[in-house]
Structure 1
Amino acid sequence: MNSLLHTNKRLIALLVLLMLSTAAIAACSSSENANKAEQGGESDAEKKVTVIRNFKAASLDPHNSFETLRAGIVETLVRLDENMEVQEWLATKWEAVDDVTWVFTIREGVTFHDGTKLDAAAVKASFERGIAASEVLAGSLKIASMEANGSELKIITTEPHPALPSELVNPYASVISVTAEKEMGTEAFNNAPVGTGPFEVVKFTPNIEAELTRYDGYWNGKAKLNKVIYKFNEDSNVRALALQSKDADIVYSVPSETVATIEQDKELHVESIAGLRVHYLLYNQQKPLMQDVRVRKAIDWLLDRQSVAKDVMLGNGTPATGPFNSSLPFGSKEAVQAKNGDEAQKLLEEAGFKLNSSGKMEKDGKALTLELATYGARPELPLIAQLLQSDAAKAGVTINISTIENADTYIRENKDWDIVTYSNLSAPRGDGGYFLNSAFMPGGSLNGTNYENEAITSIMKKLNATSDIAERIKLTQEAVKEVMDDVPHSYAVYPNLIVGMNNRVTDWKPGPEEYYIITNLMDVK
């Protein structure tokens, strides 16, 4: 018995010792992990976020996709701050030597993801590549020649270009390693471009997702997150459900009607902020019917802007008075135009239409029927289309609605549409010149219908050669007046940027410019 008792005591002592040893090992491991977390070590492996964007991306070519910059893979020479003012980024300073000559000083100590050094020669090569790859970038930068010398990049433009620094905010002006592209091949590079951002690409599945990992050599401080899953999905309901099921941490363009439901979950919230975007109707003046300004103005009278803001956006937007938000210095201060079916019918009658016995507008025995295309990546647009369809029917105008996938491609490749619901950042760089040049100048990136107006073109030539802020505001307002008189577009609403977020995400909030999403500072609890 004593022998058995002694044996049991020894077993109990061994078990206690083993438990104490295990606890000590666990404590040491926990301490090591805490230290590694503080140092940004291996314990950060689970520090990741999943983001879902509302548009597809077939490529990560930064000179033809905004998503590469948004995902924190690449950077530009300059960027916008929270006040929409141009600030340094990969360039530390710049100056205009004369009307056509600019000198940019490239930041020291920056490396690409492959470890190679960033200098003026690398930026020059990147710009040359971007200009060749993107007509949009070539048209906006207007570069005649460049000269690289150490950290100094001299740019000579084809004409006086006072807006060049703000044009370099353009995501298409992102800086990449051309040397890496030559080594990898263009196809492989476009799936995993080598930039200077806080994150680099591990894997990219076109139109589905990009898997990103932290670049530990990032010049502005190693990212707090270790990993990012950056997804693409154009179905607004799927995006909202992914947020609610906690499969995603940040979801862009949450449908307005889901906001209240999402905010019932204590682990989630929605950021709805005034943005720099405008939702509008784009008219196809390549069709004879839409070349008649009276027809365009009639549709403009049928657009119920107040209802769009209240009933479609559910208060997450402001009725539009022009292309630029009225809160901007160059935005229109006019009153919102109310819907008026009588004015619409009067204009259509002036254009030769009359109501038939069935209450339909017709001309030469043919009913007035318009083809309107919309797309679901921005969930409000199909609803705006339906509202217009209903109000137009009351005025005797039939509108047929079709759903398309890619508005830009559709506009340029199809000619049988009359109206497209469209959406653009109209002042993403804190200035009206970008949108006016893109949408109304020949060859502009948003001018898919080849619209041209001599009065607007004349004003834009003056605007593009002017650096004085007060004069730029004045000329912008003059151009907008011409736009509103000619009605190539009908502006519906300035939508809020609606982003659903899991509360575990910290040190981050969406910006109205919609450019800088993944950063080195964002973190998770």
Structure 2
Amino acid sequence: MLWVVAPRSGARPLPRIPWKKFPVHVTRPLTGACLVLTAALTLTGCFAPSDQSADGADDRVSVAMLQPPRSALSPLSDDAFKLSRWSTAETLVVLDDNGDPQPGLATEWTRVDDTTWEFTVRDGVVFHDGTDLTADAAAHALEYAAQAAPKPRILDGVDLTVAAEGDTVTVTTADGDPLVPHRLSSPQLSILAESAYDGDTVSPVGTGTGPFELVEVNGTTSARLERFDGYWGDPARLSGIDVTFVPDGTARAAALRTGEADIVEAVPVSQAALLDQELLTEVPMPRTNTLHLNAADGPFADPGLRAAVRETIDRRALVEGVYEGRADVAEGLLGPALPWSADRPERTASTEATDPDGVAITLATYSDRPEQPEIVTVLAQQLEDAGFEVEQAVREYANIEQDMLAGEFDAFVLSRATVLDSGDPLAYMASDFSCDGSFNIAQLCDADVDDLLAEAEPLATGADRRTAILAAEAAILATDAAIPLLHERVIQGDAAHVADSAKDPRERLLVTPRTRLD
């Protein structure tokens, strides 16, 4: 019997649909169950329960993910992190727990001079389409990313050229860049087979190198992966992965509680207390929830009004109220996931607050993360108590991103991973707070900030670079264009029979070759 359980007690078993009668794969269209779940939870899709064998050696894992693909799973976008979490697309370099680069599809590398790096490509790697990984194939993937418009965020401000010779890929940058290996660890620079690239389109279906092959994508609803037996590393313990995209946090939590999903991404804080605590893992994340104020246009072009917001916000109320204590009050843009950030210099206010006196503002966020609308509601009340008139705007991320980046709102609350790309927070700061940053929600352009970011950029990893990063952070905070609210902890749900799923603060790993169902 196939149990399809609605998020209520007293669920009944439904007859198993005879999938083997179909000549092609279908995505388990359990229509009746979907209707029940949709009515109860506004669920966007149904889950495919794992087919566990008696010895646990030929199992599929069902995964409920937070956000659907935004760019058709293009590795040049943030969708790349889904490919990485499914272990289907890989990079030349990976990062260890300390954020230091380690061999991936490249076995070693050398810094030839200030602007030139050579990477030796691993031998014996086969793409999912049957072609071999070569230096030429790796160079083709990197060159395509470097020439893309827009570029992957990891290459913001980086002029990069690539060449191949023998088993070596040479990466040259216009300026000295000590973080080239870190950059090449970003899932946005995954190495796919040449067949993946067709004009302006990049398809990861059947073109990666990982232990799981992506074989089917059903729009923004689901995806299916199969174990790739030609994998160059340790073989996967699972036979496959069934992914369902479920933006509704209540539905994701219900899927864990009822057993419809084996692994659940981003269990909402509001749902965590309702679940078996032994199924949850809580990890401090390099992710900060920040209030961005439009420093270029509108009321918050006035530094005094930005200072008024900074003095008004009660961060502790957000942590204790919205997050039920499952977060950390922000002292800066960087949080406890980066322990060295606690050595930041003491901050002093540089601008006196101006009385809001009824100034009208728009405060916006997105609904994909369930805590975000709640934060906006609490912030709106705090700001209104201080004298602002607040209009709230909440939409799905896909429908608000363009206006957010164009500066259409006076204030925007964003949950942002601070070392998502390179493992080094400077790339995040440059992208979000420099004059030329591509993700500059606050429309901030400050000479002191840009100068300090530029000073930190050429420094080698280590104490001096970290000190320079904290100086840049202090300059950003001094503008009051970005007011960090709290540092998040991710809550991941794993069914009791799931073993060795990754609990990754950087959100790059989830299902790995070691993951299994016991």
- TM-score (normalizing by structure 2): 0.83
Contact 1:329/1:473 (CA < 8 Å) preserved in 2? no
Contact 1:61/1:68 (CA < 8 Å) preserved in 2? no
Distance 1:76 1:314 in 2: 37
Residue 516 (structure 2) pairs with residue 503 (structure 1): no
| 1:420 counterpart residue number | 412
| 1:99 counterpart residue number | 114
Q: Secondary structure at the match of 1:497?
A: strand
Contact 1:140/1:167 (CA < 8 Å) preserved in 2? no
5+ residue gaps in structure 2? Answer: 1-51
Distance 1:227 1:85 in 2: 30
Distance 1:204 1:303 in 2: 43
Give the deviation of 1:324 after TM superposition. 0.5
Residue 467 (structure 2) pairs with residue 486 (structure 1): no
Distance 1:149 1:109 in 2: 17
| 2:3 counterpart residue number | none
Matched-pair identity in %: 27
C-alpha distance after superposition, 1:266-324 (max 9, x if no partner): xx611111111101111122323111111112112222111222222112111001110
Q: 1:443 to 1:51 in 2, by over 3 A?
A: farther
Distance 2:386 2:441 in 1: 29
Give the deviation of 1:151 after TM superposition. 1.5
Q: 1:252 to 1:468 in 2, by over 3 A?
A: closer
Contact 1:404/1:410 (CA < 8 Å) preserved in 2? no
Distance 2:451 2:467 in 1: 14
Q: Which structure is higher in helix share? A: 1
Residue 311 (structure 2) pairs with residue 301 (structure 1): yes
| 2:302 counterpart residue number | 292
**Of 57, 72, 75, which aligns to 1:62?**
75
Residue 186 (structure 2) pairs with residue 170 (structure 1): yes
- Matched residue type, 1:461: A
Deviates more, 1:219-228 or 1:76-85: 76-85
Distance 1:501 1:410 in 2: 36
| 2:34 counterpart residue number | none
Distance 1:335 1:433 in 2: 17
Distance 1:466 1:438 in 2: 18
- Matched residue type, 1:374: T
Residue 353 (structure 2) pairs with residue 347 (structure 1): yes
Contact 1:129/1:178 (CA < 8 Å) preserved in 2? no
Q: Secondary structure at the match of 1:102?
A: strand
Give the deviation of 1:506 after TM superposition. 0.5
5+ residue gaps in structure 1? Answer: 1-39, 338-342, 354-360, 362-366
| 1:215 counterpart residue number | 228
Give the deviation of 1:489 after TM superposition. 0.8
Q: 1:181 to 1:167 in 2, by over 3 A?
A: closer
Contact 1:305/1:336 (CA < 8 Å) preserved in 2? no
Residue 246 (structure 2) pairs with residue 206 (structure 1): no
Q: Secondary structure at the match of 1:276?
A: strand
Contact 2:332/2:484 (CA < 8 Å) preserved in 1? yes
Q: Secondary structure at the match of 1:402?
A: strand
| 1:52 counterpart residue number | 64
Q: 1:370 to 1:180 in 2, by over 3 A?
A: closer
| 2:322 counterpart residue number | 312
The aligned length equals: 459
Give the deviation of 1:480 after TM superposition. 1.0
Deviates more, 1:461-470 or 1:152-161: 461-470
Runs ≥4 in structure 1, deviation > 6 angstroms? 40-45, 334-337
RMSD across aligned positions (CA): 2.7
Q: Secondary structure at the match of 1:57?
A: coil
Contact 1:326/1:333 (CA < 8 Å) preserved in 2? no
C-alpha distance after superposition, 1:129-160 (max 9, x if no partner): 22233423573483443221121111111111
**Of 105, 111, 125, which aligns to 2:140?**
125
Q: 1:80 to 1:493 in 2, by over 3 A?
A: same
Distance 1:449 1:131 in 2: 26
- Matched residue type, 1:451: L
| 2:427 counterpart residue number | 434
Distance 1:111 1:256 in 2: 41
- Matched residue type, 1:153: V
Residue 403 (structure 2) pairs with residue 410 (structure 1): yes
Give the deviation of 1:437 after TM superposition. 1.4
Q: 1:315 to 1:420 in 2, by over 3 A?
A: same
